[in-house]
Amino acid sequence: MHQPPFIRLSDVTMQTSIPIGLATPPAFTGPLPEAVDVAVIGGGIAGVMTAHFLAERGQRVLVCEKGRIAGEQSGRNWGWIRQQGRDPAELPIMVEALGHWKSFAQRLGAEALGFRQTGVLYLADGADDLEDYAAWLPHARANGVDTRLLTRAEMRAMLPIEGGWPGALWTASDARGEPFVALPALAAMAAGAGVVRREGCAVRALDIAAGRVTGVVTEAGRVACARVVLAGGAWSALFARAHGVALPQLSVRASVAATVPLPEVFAGGAADGRFAFRRRADGGYTLAPGGAHDFWIGPDAVRGLRHYLPQLRRDLRSTRFRAAAPAGYPDAWTTPRRWDADRPGPFEACRMLDPAPNMAFLSRVQEDFARAFPALGRPQLARAWAGMIDVMPDTVPVLDESPLPGLFLATGLSGHGFGIGPGVGRVMADLVMGNAPGHDLSRFRYGRFFDGTPMDLGPAL
């Protein structure tokens, strides 16, 4: 019988969670305006970037975050800014997003974002992976991305790693950033463009009149607006369903860790099917399981089973099923699906999703890292945390106006959102304003789950 990995005492006495938590004093506490052009629900990267580009287009914009900017998944991810391996429909938006990252780094300073173009490397576990990588190369060429296949010798020349990988996929122009540093800096930039931000302010409900959005009801009062962007991450489905918009979105727990400072063996990010790592600005590495995650079964999971069957078949081995989410989580069995907008509701009951990391997963990653880099040995962890990733059945987002006029959806980024966030924000800003989005968004339609469109799974990583 396979034995679980040994978990050292030092692994469970380290700091857990990210530096931004509910104990962090809110930075944005100003009064709410009586009216705006657009209200954005959610202070993650998709919401902040949408607000920024709307403000640059002259719109009055309010961002409401029930917890803290960067407190949930946008501050908890791997910090990869990658074009490589993207779904073909996402790739043009990601190429644009990388351009925005470079522009923001020039404007704010690369240190403010932790931004560096150090490349991304996918290590092939076998011949099948190499075939998949080769099949993706035409998409890279069509979008002007500098991706190429590496032989084993070329890979070893770049990365002094021990193991049997026969080759790799490499994109030198891909980049990295520090999530819990970058997003507050981007939010400050948005404020400079005129965005009003409010932390610790949950949006309880939409104001609806004559069948369309007329405002938002927050815990601090009502704000009139004709358009709302729901960028609530793992909370989006709960909010949308309460307003009659069925969104087959679920969430999974992804565990991540940061090592103490280590000698640099690679400046960028790399991954195979078992583990992933990324050089950090503090001299350590961010480590994570390559694809393993935890999934808590709840009412929405049961309701959405038919949508998720293809993804479950593909990812069954990498998914650990749990019986029930912690109390207050979006798909917990006891979380209310209906509530009174004049009273505190589920978004105030759980201000921030801060799940405990799966230390067994992270211990395996430490051992994988030690085997790959025996000269470094088993890395000591300085911090471990987890986040709830909002996922869609086909692992690509919804970027669309919902069936409720005036309610726009920017959600379900499926763990790929940090890097592409600036591109998503620009696309959503023009979509909200009725302008041409500049990219083909048919892949990201809300209606694809209900109009008989065949399920087309995007990349898992």
SS3 at position 6: coil
What are the structural domains, with CATH classification, of the chain?
Answer: 9-119+173-449 (3.50.50.60), 120-172 (no CATH)
Q: What is the pLDDT of residues 135-166, one digit of tens each?
A: 999 999 999 999 999 999 999 999 999 999 99
Check residue 2 and give its pLDDT: 34
Check residue 461 and give its pLDDT: 66
Q: What is the pLDDT of residues 416-451, one digit of tens each?
A: 999 999 999 999 999 999 999 999 999 999 999 999
- Residue 8 DSSP one-character state: -
Mean pLDDT (whole number) for 94-99: 98
* Residue owning tokens 């997963």: 361
Closest CA to 159 of 274, 269, 250: 269
Check residue 310 and give its pLDDT: 87
Consecutive H or E run containing 53: helix 45-56
Q: What is the pLDDT of residues 308-363, one digit of tens each?
A: 998 888 888 889 999 999 999 999 999 999 999 999 999 999 999 999 999 999 99
Q: By the 8 A CB rule, do 62 and 36 touch?
A: yes
Q: What is the pLDDT of residues 385-412, one digit of tens each?
A: 999 999 999 999 999 999 999 999 999 9
Q: How far is CA 207 from CA 10, 247, 418, in A?
A: 50, 19, 30
**What is the DSSP annotation of 287-356?**
EEESS-EEEE--HHHHHTHHHHHHHHHHHGGGEEEES-PPTTSTT-TTS-SS--TTS--HHHH-S---PP
Check residue 441 and give its pLDDT: 98
Q: What is the pLDDT of residues 55-93, one digit of tens each?
A: 999 999 999 999 999 999 999 999 999 999 999 999 999
pTM score, whole prediction: 0.95
Check residue 28 and give its pLDDT: 81
Q: By the 8 A CB rule, do 175 and 116 touch?
A: yes
Check residue 418 and give its pLDDT: 98
Q: Return all residues near 204 (Cβ < 8 A) that are at least 6 apart.
A: 217, 218, 219, 339, 341, 344, 345, 347, 348
Consecutive H or E run containing 102: helix 91-108
Closest CA to 415 of 398, 393, 395: 395
Strand partners, 409: 230, 400
Closest CA to 54 of 392, 390, 410: 410
- Residue 439 DSSP one-character state: S
Among residues of the chain, what percentage have pLDDT more than 90? Answer: 90
The distance of Cα 319 from the centroid of its chain, to the nearest Å, equals: 18
| 139: amino acid identity, one letter | H
Consecutive H or E run containing 361: helix 359-372
- Residue 291 pLDDT class (50, 70, 90 cuts): confident
Burial label for 209, CB within 10 Å (0-12, 13-18, 19+), is exposed
Q: Return all residues near 209 (Cβ < 8 A) that are at least 6 apart.
A: none
Q: What is the pLDDT of residues 17-56, one digit of tens each?
A: 788 999 999 888 889 999 999 999 999 999 999 999 999 9
Q: Is the pLDDT of residue 10 over 60?
A: no
- Summary mean pLDDT of the chain: 94
